[in-house]
């Protein structure tokens, strides 16, 4: 491990702690501004004036900054998976706030999510050398991720409870995975001399990053309104690195030497991580409390 990679790992570790704290604070502020698992624009405007929410946003901003710096210093496959450590941290923070011991289902779900992501990265053997991507490939990647995010967002609009939380969180995670890949791609094009910092293409990519980040932020707030912070963090830290690593392989050539057989193992690791998220979402104390208090499940199509 090079010195720069070691620094990137350290930054990513601090990033994970900040992210878990940010999620807990934002969920606290958002969770009592709704009664149906959906955060309206009016409620959101009320939330943004709360000190707890602002503190969460500040910590989130610090986490994003640390993450961006780490991506400048090391490949996606090194930086992204470390964020999964935010899952157990968020579980412990939520348990402390609710003054309860995490249930077995919560611990199993968190363990599956963490193990799945770690295994995904460990078995994705191959070169970590990154190459600047082609513009066409970037456009295609943006279109594909946008389509996936849209489908998941629609899923969040028509479901409720933990399913809504998972749908919104996963949509946000896909968007943030694209942001990480774009940040890495832009940094490679600039540092390799293929583009200047103020080139139109670089500025357009920066604009896309800004728009996607804002959209992802809105999805995260909706997820906080629908479920527990540990569930949101689990979705983000499971899907985000998987999307980012796959985009890193497709766009930047990271892990180009990964044997075909290991892709199957990576698929199993992904399935384990997804199963962990679903288990965590179903058995989290807040999810079970809401399920007991809620009426019989029904599809909702309201956009308010």
Query: Which of the four pLDDT bands, split at 50, 70 and 90, describes residue 298?
Result: very low
Question: Does the residue 67 lie in any domain?
Answer: no
Number of domains forming the structure of the chain:
1
Highest mean pLDDT, choosing among 211-220, 260-269, 283-292? 211-220
CA–CA distance, 80 with 208 (Å, rounded to integer): 20
The per-residue pLDDT for 34 is 54
Highest mean pLDDT, choosing among 1-5, 35-39, 50-54, 211-215? 211-215
* DSSP code at position 32: T
- Single pTM value for the model: 0.73
Q: Which two tokens stand for residue 248?
A: 């890193």
Query: Which of the four pLDDT bands, split at 50, 70 and 90, describes residue 248?
Result: confident
Question: Does the residue 180 lie in any domain?
Answer: yes
Question: Does the residue 12 lie in any domain?
Answer: no
Question: Does the residue 18 lie in any domain?
Answer: no
The per-residue pLDDT for 39 is 64
Question: Does the residue 137 lie in any domain?
Answer: yes
* Residues whose CB falls within 8 Å of the CB of residue 158, separated by 6 or more in sequence, listed in order: 299, 300, 301
Residue 109: which of 276, 233, 260, 274 has the closest Cα?
Answer: 276
Question: Does the residue 13 lie in any domain?
Answer: no
């990053």: which residue's tokens? 209
Q: Which two tokens stand for residue 7?
A: 């620094």
Question: Does the residue 57 lie in any domain?
Answer: no
Give the lowest-confidence range in 75-84, 157-166, 281-290: 281-290
76 contacts 180 by C-beta, under 8 angstroms: yes
**Mean residue pLDDT across the chain:** 79
The per-residue pLDDT for 304 is 37
Kindly tell me if the per-residue pLDDT of 236 is higher than 80: yes
CA–CA distance, 235 with 273 (Å, rounded to integer): 9
Query: Which of the four pLDDT bands, split at 50, 70 and 90, describes residue 286?
Result: low
Q: How many CB atoms lie within 10 A of CB 13?
A: 15
- Give residue-wise pLDDT tens across range 2-31: 788 888 888 988 998 998 899 888 887 776
230 contacts 91 by C-beta, under 8 angstroms: yes
Instruction: Supply the range of the domain harboring residue 101.
Output: 86-293
134: burial class by Cβ within 10 Å (0-12, 13-18, 19+)? Answer: exposed
SS3 assignment, position 268? helix
Mean pLDDT of 173-179: 89
Question: Does the residue 122 lie in any domain?
Answer: yes
The per-residue pLDDT for 128 is 57
The per-residue pLDDT for 302 is 42
SS3 assignment, position 1? coil
The per-residue pLDDT for 299 is 42
Give the lowest-confidence range in 104-118, 174-188, 289-303: 289-303
Mean pLDDT of 233-259: 76
């Amino acid at each position: 491990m090079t010195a720069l990679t070691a620094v990137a790992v350290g930054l990513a570790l601090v990033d994970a702690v900040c992210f878990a704290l940010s999620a807990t604070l934002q969920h606290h502020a958002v969770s009592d501004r709704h009664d149906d698992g959906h955060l309206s624009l009016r409620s959101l405007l009320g939330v943004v004036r709360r000190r707890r929410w602002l503190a969460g946003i500040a910590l989130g901003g610090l986490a994003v900054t640390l993450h961006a710096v780490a991506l400048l210093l090391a490949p996606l496959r090194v930086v992204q998976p470390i964020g999964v450590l935010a899952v157990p941290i968020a579980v412990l923070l939520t348990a402390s706030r609710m003054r309860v011991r995490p249930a077995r289902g919560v611990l199993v779900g968190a363990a599956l999510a963490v193990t799945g992501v770690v295994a995904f990265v460990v078995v994705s053997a191959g070169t970590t050398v990154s190459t600047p991507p082609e513009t066409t490939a970037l456009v295609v990647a943006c279109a594909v991720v946008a389509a996936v995010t849209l489908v998941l967002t629609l899923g969040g609009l028509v479901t409720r409870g933990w399913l809504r939380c998972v749908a919104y969180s996963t949509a946000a995670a896909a968007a943030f995975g694209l942001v990480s890949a774009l940040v890495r791609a832009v940094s490679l094009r600039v540092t390799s001399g293929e583009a200047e910092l103020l080139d139109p293409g670089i500025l357009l990519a920066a604009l896309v990053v800004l728009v996607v980040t804002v959209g992802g932020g809105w999805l995260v707030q909706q997820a906080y309104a629908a479920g527990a912070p540990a569930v949101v963090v689990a979705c983000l830290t499971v899907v985000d690195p998987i999307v980012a690593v796959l985009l890193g392989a497709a766009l930047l050539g990271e892990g180009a030497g990964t044997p075909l057989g290991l892709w199957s193992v990576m698929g199993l690791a992904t399935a384990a991580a997804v199963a962990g998220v679903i288990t965590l979402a179903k058995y989290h104390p807040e999810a079970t409390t809401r399920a007991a208090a809620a009426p019989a499940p029904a599809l909702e199509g309201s956009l308010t």
